[in-house]
Structure 1
């Protein structure tokens, strides 16, 4: 199988059967081909730590809101905004661009990464719009009625997305050797 991959077949057997390949990525010198973006051995651990912090902050937003502390809710929303923007930037540059370039010869894996990236762009826009809408919740009590249900929807989407990233996408981030 490895010889077929090295000497003629374009895709590893796992990709041909519709599964995503978890073969080492072909990156010269630890960089994704055609970029200066290097493989970072601690990136996945960093992103998973970000996820835990995002979920913890999100949980604090929910409990603070349920306690009726709108000023505290607004403050936590700003903290969440900063954390998620930093996470999205890191993920976009260090993970998605690297993977898209490193996996360009593996059509199935490349398509998966590309889909994840564009889906995350959409989710990011929705989350940032939500955060912008409720930025002034402490001084605009009329927003309280819609905040709770929208917060729950955002939470459900984030939990599902984080699980999919950690289970499906992150295992593709492998060093070249």
Structure 2
């Protein structure tokens, strides 16, 4: 406050209020939340595999919509794919990876393998979401369509390789 008076030319000294602390210490009696754990879900892997099938089908429906000239339909399908993909990633991160991290706590080899898979998937998912965002905003003229076709092949290959490896190597650690 003294600075305000100084800015306006008032030379009176204004003393800043001093916060006073209570003389008595009051103990914090709030409860601390118990450590959270993720429980095993017998049908989680079948749900994740079902997500994979749905995501692959959604992704493969993008090019036919684009080639038919249905830009609005293409963008709706792209948006649905992105939403479902992000939902799958969240489910995997929260229910699958957290459970594995808990259950593999004493198994350094498999824990490190799982962490490598998780880091790789985070990189892939950022690329997929950026890809979806880019083409959701693109006008999809002839150049945009050609770029989409080229990039979508790369994205599809990365996703298919990842799905195959997850289902073959990683999901077996959950059981």
Q: TM-score, normalised by structure 1?
A: 0.75
Offset, 1:69: 2.3
Query: Which structure 2 segments of 5+ residues have no match?
Result: 1-34
Cα shift readout 1:125-163 (whole Å, capped 9, x = no counterpart): 0000001101133x3525223111001110011110000
Query: Which structure 1 segments of 5+ residues have no match?
Result: 1-33
**Contact 2:48–2:92 under 8 Å retained in 1:** yes
Q: TM-score, normalised by structure 2?
A: 0.76
Offset, 1:62: 2.1
How far apart, in 1, do the equivalents of 2:163 and 2:153 lie?
15
How far apart, in 1, do the equivalents of 2:103 and 2:171 lie?
14
Q: Equivalent residue for 2:136? A: 135
Q: Equivalent residue for 1:155? A: 156
Cα shift readout 1:89-113 (whole Å, capped 9, x = no counterpart): 0000100111012102111110110
Q: Equivalent residue for 1:6? A: none
How far apart, in 2, do the equivalents of 1:35 and 1:106 lie?
20
Q: Equivalent residue for 1:164? A: 165
Q: Equivalent residue for 1:24? A: none
Q: Equivalent residue for 2:24? A: none
Q: Equivalent residue for 1:72? A: 73
Deviating beyond 6 angstroms after TM superposition, the runs of 4 or more aligned structure 1 residues are none
Higher relative contact order (CA 8 A, sep 6+): 1
**Contact 2:96–2:174 under 8 Å retained in 1:** yes
Q: Number of residue pairs matched? A: 140
Q: Equivalent residue for 1:41? A: 42
**Contact 2:71–2:140 under 8 Å retained in 1:** no
Question: CA RMSD, aligned part only?
Answer: 1.3
How far apart, in 2, do the equivalents of 1:106 and 1:62 lie?
43
Q: Equivalent residue for 2:83? A: 82
Query: For residues 1-177 of structure 1, what are the structure 2 equivalents within 5 Å?
Result: 35-137=36-138, 139-141=139-141, 142-174=143-175
How far apart, in 2, do the equivalents of 1:159 and 1:117 lie?
16
SS in 1 for 2:38: coil
